[in-house]
Amino acid sequence: MNPQAPPTKIQLSNTADYREAYANSVQVRVSLWDFFLLFGTINQTSPENVMIANYQGVFLSPQQAKALANVLTQNVTQYEATFGEIKLEPQPAQSAKVIQ
């Protein structure tokens, strides 16, 4: 019989520059070495004009990106079991132009 190791104790703390913000836009860029998540807020002033103000970029290793995908899938499944299906809006045609 193998003795069980005691569970690892995890302590969370916030750094001095910790902040929280709302994002209704997340863009994902992928390279061989990492995933880059770019968070922002969308402001649509007319049907033809959408402004995305990006405010935070986060690099993740491929392993952390996969772990995040798993955690998000579990939490979305639990949310939908409690509150019902999350409906997504139809995706816009790929003809949208990004101006930087």
Q: What three-state secondary structure class fits 43?
A: strand
Q: What is the pLDDT along the chain (100 residues), one digit of tens a residue?
A: 677 888 999 999 999 999 999 999 999 999 999 999 999 999 998 988 999 999 999 999 999 999 999 999 999 999 999 999 999 888 766 555 666 6
For residue 43, being part of any structural domain is answered with yes
For residue 95, being part of any structural domain is answered with no
What is the extent of the structural domain holding 30?
Answer: 25-83
- Quote the pLDDT of residue 94: 58
- Quote the pLDDT of residue 18: 93
For residue 20, being part of any structural domain is answered with no
**In this structure, how many other beta carbons lie within 10 angstroms of the beta carbon of residue 52?**
16
For residue 40, being part of any structural domain is answered with yes
Domain count, the chain: 1
DSSP 65: H
Rounded Cα distance between 36 and 61, Å, is 9
